Each structure stands twice: as C-alpha cells, then as structure tokens.
Structure 1
Amino acid sequence: MTTPQRPNIIFIVADDLGFADLGCYGGRDAKFGKVSPVLDRLAAAGLKFTQGYSNSPVCSPTRFALMTARYQYRLRGGADEPINSKSKGSKVLGLPPEHPTLPSLLKASGYRTALIGKWHLGYPPHFSPLKSGYEEFFGPMSGGVDYFTHASNNGTHDLYTNEEEKHEDGYLTDLISHKAVDFVNRMAPGAAQGTPFFLSLHYTAPHWPWETREDHALAQEVKDNLFHLHGGNIHTYHRMIHHMDEGIGWMVDALKKTGQLDNTLIVFTSDNGGERFSDNWPLVGGKMDLTEGGIRVPWIAHWPAVIAPGGTSAQHCMTMDWSATMVELAGAQADAEHPFDGVSMLPVLHDAKHQFERPLYWRMNHRGQRALRMGDYKYLRVDGNDYLFNIPADERERANLAKHQPEKLQSLRAAWEAWDSTVPAIPEDATISLGYSVKDMPQR
C-alpha cells in the first residue's frame, strides 16, 4: 500500500487512562452500557498496539517527549514529576520556545497546527503552546482543573484561548470536543485550500476531580480539594471516559461530513497508566510506577487510506516514537542539533505484521525507579531492588527471574546504565509532586 498525499494528523491523548479501560482493550462495561464505542470502532477499523508504552508514568514528562520526539530527560523541565502550579513564573520549568517541537516542525512543513486541551509544559509568560509551534490553543495550562469552574489546584482560573484567559461555561470535556469539531470544520478543503493540519487533542479526562457532565453541584465541593480524595467511584469514572469517547465521535463525524476522514491519521493514547479507579488488568501498578500498569497504555491508529482494518501489533513503542512518525509523514525531519530518540512507526502502519527490535528505557526520581524493556524481558529497579521479568510469560510481574537468570539481569542492567550515561543526570532540585500524599491513597 502506498502513502497518499500528506495526511491530516490528529493526536489524541487521554489523561490517566488505564491500559484496559477501553472496551477494545478488555475493559469492563459500566451499567450504562459500552464505555468506549467510538474508540472501539476506530480500533476495529484500524490498528491496535498491545505492547505500547508512555514515555513516563506521569503526565508532563510524557508531554515533553511527545513534543520533542526525544527522551524527556534531555530537558530540565522533564525531570520534575510532574511540573506543578508552584513553578508558575519559572523561567526553567517548561518547554523552551527555542527547542524544535513536533508542531513547530510540522508548521514549518506547511501544516496548520492547533492544541485543544491540556498543555502542562510551563506557564506564560515564558512558556506556552504558541511559543512552541501551535498557531491556536484552547485549554488549561496546568495539569488538572475542575471540569466546571476550570480552576486549578491552587484555586486560580485556568482556561485559555491562545495566551488570554477565557471564561466559558461548560463541562470541560465537552468544551474541548466542540472546539475540536470547530477546528476540523474550519480546516475543510474548501475553507483551508487543502492545507493539511495537525491537531493535538489533549483531554483532561478521566483525570481527577471525579465529575461527570451531570455533576455541576460537585464543583463547589471540590473547589478546595481538587484531588477529590473522598469522592468518585468506578461508575463516575466510566462516565468520564464515555463523555470523552462521545466527543471523539463528534469529531470523527465532522471529518466524515467534510470529506477528510480517509486521509486523516488519528492516533489515540494516554499520557501514562491509570489512577485509582482505572482498569489495568492484567497489569499491576499505575500512575507513578514503572511497573507495567504505570507505563503500558492503549495505542490506536486509524487511517483508512493506509492502515488495513482489524490489525493488531505487538511492536514495542513509546510516545516519542509516534512524534517521530508524524514528522516523517509530514515530510519534515529532525533538527540537526536535536536528533530524535523516537523511531518512526510508519512501516508498522503499512504492515501490521512488521516488527523490529525497539529497546525502551525509563527512569524516575520516585522510589529510585529504573526500567528497560528489551525483547521479551524487562529489567526493573524499585527502592534499590532489582527485578527481571519475562513479560509475555508474566505480564503481572510476579515471577522475579533475577536469581535464576543472573547473566540476563546483568546484561540488561549494563545496557540501562550505558543508556543512562547518555542523558543528563537527574538534577538535585528536581521535585516529585503527586498533588496529594501517597499515604492518603488506598494501597494496590
């Protein structure tokens, strides 16, 4: 199958979505019915990855990798887990405007660019989406906001159009979806003269606070505790995913009506593993962990002009690989002074059976974690203890092979340490911020 003219690209990122939360990944149905019918249909008509990962088990570091197609550790802001509201005014903790990015490279290649949804890569006046290659922006600058008041965890209003505060009534997931539909309609061939577009659609769902479209009354309750530690349940969580899924459906319908669907690459994923109400089965752990539940995430690719329907791939990949893929599709290339760490997935999009070796590396300040996935094996260190797992045989990471295969452990540990020497050391002042105390959370 040959690649047609340069496609439109829509990169959808959910927030704190678990590996198995979607129906197409084995998610359980909520009482109200299917949780994710739209995404399930996109997967059935496209390509689903079963061994895909995020660059980090926490939000803003993954977004650094998404924007740069490089390991987040190469930038100072990527070392904080994650950037929080205390960094407001910082000239350091953010995505440097001078650094080439996925949107800036695509923009230079002739694409129209927009970010609708969560930014979380530093605050104005020093950082913003418009300073890093996006022509348009609508959404919050921080990590989490109330879905109705649009207030961040420090109580300040956090909803912007470009770099100006925007006060707009409505449930945030729906506002994001409606803005995406509007953008797609404005990019229709008759309106935009056939210029391809790149849309980053970054939902805050299903991130806390736990509010559905019907929960207006909760806005006051969560105002002073955005983390909503005492609230939420699995049914609310499913509804939040379903609202996002509905909005994606509105956008897909707009693509159909404007004749843009066939040559639009839609990629869907999550910024990290799930949190307290998520379904990660059969994986263990979640957000903040380098166990599989913290970093294995859904990856769905839909592109009718190129991707054959019904495909499944076990190709290993992580967030920055998809950024490299999109740059290649746009006919652009990495800046010579900022070479990509990401590897293009384009051969797999053309042929789901195509596979290649792709070692994946991680490290975390939190609990001194490190990990390497290479082939079937995974090397993991947590709290000073080393583990070795055969992932296909033991996805729950329960059978530690370290003492039984010491040579394999040593080989992978040496490979991780060799890689670690190629990226900057973790700064002493890097912070870890869950936004709440770990002791407040139920133990997994």
Structure 2
Amino acid sequence: MKSQKDKNRFYKLTPFILFIALGVFSFSQSDQKIEKPNIVFIFIDDMGWKDVGFMGAEYYETPNIDKLAKNGMIFTQAYANAPNCAPTRACLLSGQYSPRHGVFTVARSDRGDPKDRRLIPIQNSTTVGLEHIFISEALKLAGYRSAAIGKWNVGNSPRAQGFDLDFPGIGFQGHFNSQGEYLADHLTDRAVDFIKENNPKKTGSPFFLYLSHYAVHTPIEAKEILIANYEKKQGVGCHNDPTYAAMIESVDQSVAKVNRILEELGLSENTLVIFFSDNGGHGTYTCQKPLRGGKGMLYEGGIRVPLFAYWPGKIRSGTTCEEPVISTDFYPTFLQLAGAKHPENYKLDGTSLVPLLNGEESINRESLFWHFPAYLNSYDGMRDEARDTLFRTRPVSVIRKGDWKLLQFHEEWVLDKGRENILKNNAVEIYNLAEDIGETNNLAAIQIDKRDELLDELIKWQQETDAPISTEINSKYQRND
C-alpha cells in the first residue's frame, strides 16, 4: 500500500496539457486568462433512466432538472459501472473497472438462500485501497478545493482520498432527523455553503463539488406536502407511487438550489454541472420501460441511467448525445478540463467525454465492460424481468460493443461446459439493442459470428484485468427443476 507521499510521485506533467484541455471549446480565449472550470457533480442514488422528465417521465415532476438538461447535453445511453451503488461509486472515483479495485457489489457477494446458489461467489471488498488514486486527489494537485457531501460507501474517508471537506449528513434516521429536517435539503444547504465559501472570485481556486444524495434510495420517505400533490395525480403506468415521486421532486429542488447559487455568484459560465445516477431504479417502486429490469440487474434497466451535462456558453444548448458512455469516463474528462496531471503508472479505464461535450459524435471507443461475480436476491417487483425469480442477478460479465450486448453467466459457463456446450447450456445471451432495447430476443443461437466475436473480446478483457470468476462449487446447492 502506498502512502500519500508515494502517490504524489505518480503524477507527471504532460506538455501543453493545460492548453489542450482548456482550449477544446469553440470560444475565444485570446488575451484572456484561462480559468479552470468548477465542477459540480450531482449524484443520485437509485434513480432510474426513465425517472426524470427529460427522459420521458410524466408522473414525476422534475422541472428544474429538465430545464438544465434541455439547456445542456442529454446523454441517452449513459451507463453506471454496476447495478448497485458501491461498485459504481468505486469505479467513478477511482477511474477504474471493478476488477482493478475489488469492489464488486454492496456488502456480501453471497446474497440469497445458499441452496439456490450453484457457486461460492468471489469475496467482495467494501473498501477501495488507498493505492488507488481518486479524482479528488488528481484535482487537488491541479489547485482544486473539493467537497464530498452525502453518501460515500467506498471505505476510507473522503479526506483520506483527497477531499478537503467531508460532510456525510449525520443524525438522520432514514431521510429525516429528529427536528423533521429532510436529508436532501440538509445536504443541499451544505453544498450551497461550500460554493459560497469557495467562490473562486474570492479564493482564486476552482472547486470540485461531489454532491452525493441518499435519495431516492430506500426507505421511501418524503415530505408530506409533496406527497399530497402526487396523491391527487393519476399514475402513469408503473410510475404511480406518490412518496417515491415526492422524493424525486426533492432532488429536483436540490438541483434548483445549487444552480441558483451558481447564477447568483456569477459562476455558471465557468462551471460544469453533471447530473447522474449510480444504478437503475428500484423495481418495487418504479420501472424503466421500455428497458428490461431495474436495480440489481445487468439488463439495461439496471445499469442505464439518466445523465446530462450543463455548462452555459460552452456546451451547446438543446443537444443530445447517443454515444454509449460510462461512469469511469468522468475521471479523464475532469482531468482534461482541469488541465490536471495524469497519474503516472496508474491505469484509467474511461475515455474523456470532452469531444462529445464539444459537439463531436463519437469518442471512437469500441466496447464497454461490466463484471459482477456476485449474487443479488430478488425483491418485490420485476421478478418476471430477471433471468429467474430467485435472483435479480447471478454472477455475470457483460460487454457492449456498438449496438450489441452480450451477457456471460458464470454458473452455466463454469459448470455446464462453457463454450463447448454453448448452444444448450444457456450460458450466454446476446441482444441487438438498436432493434431490441427491451432485451426480449436472445440471439445467441442465431448470431453465431457476432456472439463469438463479443465473447472472445470479453474473455480477453477478463484476462487483461484479472477479473475473477469463481469455479468453486457450492455444496449446499439443491437443484430445483
């Protein structure tokens, strides 16, 4: 394990990086001092792809979120690195895929009844080791002040990983404290205070705000005045829970308040605002139609999430990006925009989104990968959209390449002769998302060449990243035909 002093040796200056990073947008910089942009990252917990107005929700009310999204860039194919929170957060903050840091799931990897699990799953880590260099550490060396406000869930404290301020929100039982204060409001007020206290016009330094809400995670609790509004409304399909809707509206109010202080302080034109979720929506309370599944599944509804980027005068208003992107992409994006030094001898798995923010159509990346060697038992809702009714997911690896997506299920792959018996063992599913966004038509027995191409690439990636796949048989398993 490396000390902080050792970490500092990782960084080396790339010639002209500041000029390149801050010159990407088509605006005049001649005879002007280049300012490093502030970065506000608003991270929502368990918000699904269709849970906001800008992605088509009609029952949920998100006017402030929608306004920023429509005046910025909406990403329609944005992905979390995992179907639940801890691994996505670990990947985003470290810039690395899960096999590199070992945070694969939340808490235990052996969820569910032992008699239903064919394999002993890979042991999960709940902590990202200090040898992994978080984006906050890289930005600190570029002169940024940073705050981690809200949910953390990756082990070591934010201060140990480069943040200057750590404010988790203490004293709450669920989403309320003993004074009746709502947690999302509490965190938002602290975020506003941080922006005021670290106004670059006074400090001379840019800031990075990581505002990580606990909403809309369970317990599903909201302010009564907001709930009452939705109790009067007619639900729209599977969007019909008044309390969940009220939680979403509180998030919308948070976004409005953060944006308002940026405007009041005259910081908007030099601040990038990102809105993102850590995984798909909870299937008991919402759904993501036409996507299949929700939180805890590696089908689209569990990993495809809402994303917009807003930066007045820099990102063209009213734009939509169809390029698949993933949460590990934020690290290199922020490095480039900040003119920050790249950590030396430190692998980053993402690709900078700056070309997309600048209006280009592609970042010329071939594939995205997921590795989830764990079990997640089922819950109320969406059992019919999972692979089986006992688990939201069993151990699985995934590749998306172009319009194609392949899922490799470890139990069948390891125990039922893998590739040798691929036409019979149901170890692989492959879908064309352009034609079948709901993942209803498994083409593994039809698109043989495409299946083998993606499978070969996935296996190569597993080998390159040392992605662990359990081969240990669970002796407590009881076959249930």
What range describes the TM-score normalised by the shorter chain of this pair?
Answer: 0.7 to 0.9
- Paired position in structure 1 for 2:47: 17
Decide whether the 8 Å contact of 1:7 with 1:196 is kept in 2. Answer: yes
Among 92, 100, 106, the alignment partner of 1:82 is: 106
After TM superposition, the structure 1 stretch with the greater mean CA deviation from structure 2, 201-210 or 374-383, is 374-383
C-alpha displacement of 1:169: 6.2
Among 244, 249, 255, the alignment partner of 2:251 is: 244
1:239-298 Cα shifts (integer Å, max 9, x gaps): 101001101101100000000011100011100111121231210111111100011011
- Paired position in structure 1 for 2:175: 147
CA distance in 2 between counterparts of 1:377 and 1:311 reads 25
Specify whether residues 369 and 145 from structure 1 end up closer, same or farther in structure 2 by C-alpha distance, changes over 3 A only. Answer: farther
Among 39, 51, 57, the alignment partner of 2:65 is: 39
Which structure 2 segments of 5+ residues have no match? 1-24, 28-33, 109-124, 227-238, 376-393, 413-425, 473-481
CA distance in 2 between counterparts of 1:406 and 1:22 reads 38
- Paired position in structure 2 for 1:73: 99
Specify whether residues 172 and 358 from structure 1 end up closer, same or farther in structure 2 by C-alpha distance, changes over 3 A only. Answer: farther
Specify whether residues 428 and 369 from structure 1 end up closer, same or farther in structure 2 by C-alpha distance, changes over 3 A only. Answer: closer
- Paired position in structure 1 for 2:303: 295
Q: Which amino acid aligns with 1:265?
A: L
Among 393, 396, 404, the alignment partner of 2:435 is: 393
- Paired position in structure 2 for 1:265: 272
CA distance in 2 between counterparts of 1:353 and 1:424 reads 32
CA distance in 1 between counterparts of 2:129 and 2:451 reads 37
C-alpha displacement of 1:381: 2.8
CA distance in 2 between counterparts of 1:7 and 1:340 reads 22
CA distance in 1 between counterparts of 2:168 and 2:244 reads 21
- Paired position in structure 1 for 2:213: 203
Give % identity. Answer: 35
CA distance in 2 between counterparts of 1:377 and 1:41 reads 32
Q: Which amino acid aligns with 1:426?
A: P
Q: Which amino acid aligns with 1:54?
A: A
Matches within 5 A, 1:267-346: 267-275=274-282, 276-346=284-354
- Paired position in structure 1 for 2:260: 253
C-alpha displacement of 1:362: 0.7
CA distance in 1 between counterparts of 2:188 and 2:67 reads 18
- Paired position in structure 2 for 1:120: 153
C-alpha displacement of 1:75: 1.2
**What is the TM-score of this pair, normalised by structure 2?**
0.75
Decide whether the 8 Å contact of 2:44 with 2:215 is kept in 1. Answer: yes
- Paired position in structure 2 for 1:187: 198
Specify whether residues 325 and 392 from structure 1 end up closer, same or farther in structure 2 by C-alpha distance, changes over 3 A only. Answer: same
Q: What secondary structure is seen at the aligned counterpart in 1 of 2:465?
A: coil
1:116-164 Cα shifts (integer Å, max 9, x gaps): 1100011xxxx200000100011159xx9611149xxxxxxxxxxxxxx
Decide whether the 8 Å contact of 1:267 with 1:301 is kept in 2. Answer: yes
Among 69, 76, 79, the alignment partner of 1:53 is: 79
Specify whether residues 304 and 215 from structure 1 end up closer, same or farther in structure 2 by C-alpha distance, changes over 3 A only. Answer: closer
- Paired position in structure 1 for 2:165: 136
C-alpha displacement of 1:20: 0.4
After TM superposition, the structure 1 stretch with the greater mean CA deviation from structure 2, 421-430 or 56-65, is 421-430
Decide whether the 8 Å contact of 1:19 with 1:281 is kept in 2. Answer: no
Which structure 1 segments of 5+ residues have no match? 85-91, 151-167, 217-231, 431-444
Q: What secondary structure is seen at the aligned counterpart in 2 of 1:421?
A: helix
CA distance in 1 between counterparts of 2:469 and 2:159 reads 28
CA distance in 1 between counterparts of 2:439 and 2:173 reads 34
CA RMSD of aligned residues (A): 2.5
Decide whether the 8 Å contact of 1:389 with 1:399 is kept in 2. Answer: yes
Decide whether the 8 Å contact of 1:145 with 1:209 is kept in 2. Answer: no
C-alpha displacement of 1:352: 4.9
Decide whether the 8 Å contact of 2:216 with 2:248 is kept in 1. Answer: yes
1:198-219 Cα shifts (integer Å, max 9, x gaps): 0001001100001102399xxx
Q: What secondary structure is seen at the aligned counterpart in 1 of 2:333?
A: helix
Among 449, 463, 466, the alignment partner of 1:407 is: 449
C-alpha displacement of 1:73: 1.7
C-alpha displacement of 1:337: 2.3
The reply on whether 1:8 has 2:38 as its aligned counterpart is yes
